[in-house]
């Protein structure tokens, strides 16, 4: 089941990085905290209200391509759509390949252009991992940085941008106004389903984020691929790295458990590397490959199911 728009309309972004560039304007890099924890974002929710007006300004200033991307995402990402995609992909029966092969596979995805960086997908993964390595982060975290966007291979299997990237949000309950472009949810068929439109919808408070069906995208897919191989902190980073409404705005927190909230600090720590380490300096892939091949071998089998 899918209500695919025409291909042209489904790919408004010249590059998926346009979405991430927008995120950087919406969520500027937090000022360094005093003392050693220089990469920690501010406490969630504290600055959110103050910045609400600024956010609306960001929406007004967003590129038309980004606006159209969010319109499609918010219109078509229904509860049923996410369930159908889970069924379609999470059997992991499509391919068998190593993690490095998946990185090369993803790298076939050539976006038209990224105005801010001209990095390939593989280079973004290496840059994220290298920034973590420079900061002396644990090996499992560096590896998490290396694989975090491999779920974007969904694009190579014909999925439109709006079904691969975009800030994720909870489906099956009321849309939060803390999402970007909340007005676009009015066109989502779930908006007309009373069962989904109470604050908790089909869920119980404190049920745990893993029970909540988020909008479908590259986070959930890579989490499922990696869930037997990486430590739990890394799995939280993978699964929720695009869940900005929760980890930056405090939305949907009524569903979180104490453990989810404790793990949020890892997601935020990850986020600083993912979003703010992009630079024009391309990593030397050939030189870095042996280090990463060894790191991959430490945690993953030679062949992984995708
Ligand atoms: Fe991502
Ligand atoms: Fe990323």
Q: Is 208 left (phi over 0), alpha (psi -120 to 50) or beta?
A: left
Global confidence as pTM: 0.89
pLDDT tens for 209-267 read 999 999 999 999 999 999 999 999 999 999 999 999 999 999 999 999 999 999 999 99
Lowest mean pLDDT among 2-6, 16-20, 65-69: 2-6
Confidence tier at 72 by pLDDT (50, 70, 90): very high
> What is the CA(237)–ligand 1 centre distance, in A?
10
Average pLDDT over residues 34-52: 50
Q: Which residues pair with 97 in a beta bridge?
A: 304
- The pLDDT of residue 48 is above 70: no
Considering every ligand atom, which ligand is closest to the CA of 121?
A: 2
- The pLDDT of residue 36 is above 70: no
CA separation (Å) from 9 to 6, 15, 125, 155, 269? 5, 14, 28, 15, 35
| Confidence (pLDDT) at 5 | 44
pLDDT tens for 267-281 read 999 999 998 877 778
Confidence tier at 2 by pLDDT (50, 70, 90): very low
Q: Is 158 left (phi over 0), alpha (psi -120 to 50) or beta?
A: left
Mean model confidence pLDDT for the chain: 89
Buried b (16+ CB within 10 A) or exposed e, 129-140: bbbbbeeebeeb
- Report every protein residue that has its C-beta within 5 angstroms of ion ligand 1: 149
Considering every ligand atom, which ligand is closest to the CA of 238?
A: 1
Q: Are 306 and 225 in contact (CB under 8 A)?
A: yes
Q: Are 220 and 87 in contact (CB under 8 A)?
A: no
| Confidence (pLDDT) at 150 | 98
> What is the CA(197)–ligand 2 centre distance, in A?
31
Confidence tier at 111 by pLDDT (50, 70, 90): low
- The pLDDT of residue 208 is above 70: yes
């Amino acid at each position: 089941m899918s209500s695919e728009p025409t291909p042209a309309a489904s790919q408004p972004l010249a590059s998926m990085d346009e979405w991430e560039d927008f995120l950087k304007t919406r969520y500027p890099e937090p000022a360094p905290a005093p003392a050693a924890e220089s990469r920690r974002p501010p406490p969630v929710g504290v600055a959110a209200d103050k910045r609400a007006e600024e956010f609306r300004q960001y929406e007004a200033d967003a590129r038309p391509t980004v606006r159209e991307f969010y319109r499609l995402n918010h219109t078509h990402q229904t509860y049923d759509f996410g369930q159908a995609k889970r069924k379609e992909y999470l059997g992991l029966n499509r391919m068998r390949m190593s993690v490095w092969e998946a990185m090369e596979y993803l790298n076939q995805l050539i976006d038209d252009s990224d105005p801010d960086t001209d990095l390939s997908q593989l280079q973004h993964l290496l840059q994220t991992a290298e920034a973590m390595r420079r900061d002396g982060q644990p090996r499992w975290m560096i590896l998490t940085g290396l694989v975090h966007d491999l779920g974007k291979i969904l694009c190579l299997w014909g999925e439109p941008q709006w079904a691969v990237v975009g800030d994720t949000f909870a489906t099956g309950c009321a849309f939060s106004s803390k999402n970007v472009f909340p007005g676009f949810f009015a066109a989502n068929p779930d908006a007309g389903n009373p069962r989904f439109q109470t604050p908790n919808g089909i869920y119980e408070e404190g049920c745990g984020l893993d029970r909540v069906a988020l909008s479908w995208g590259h986070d959930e897919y890579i989490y499922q691929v990696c869930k037997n191989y990486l430590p739990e902190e890394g799995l939280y980073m993978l699964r929720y790295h695009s869940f900005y409404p929760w980890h930056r705005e405090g939305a949907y927190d009524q569903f979180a458990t104490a453990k989810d909230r404790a793990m949020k600090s890892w997601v935020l720590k990850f986020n600083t590397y993912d979003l703010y380490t992009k630079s024009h300096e391309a990593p030397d892939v050939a030189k870095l490959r042996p280090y990463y091949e060894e790191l991959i071998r430490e945690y993953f089998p030679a062949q992984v199911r995708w």
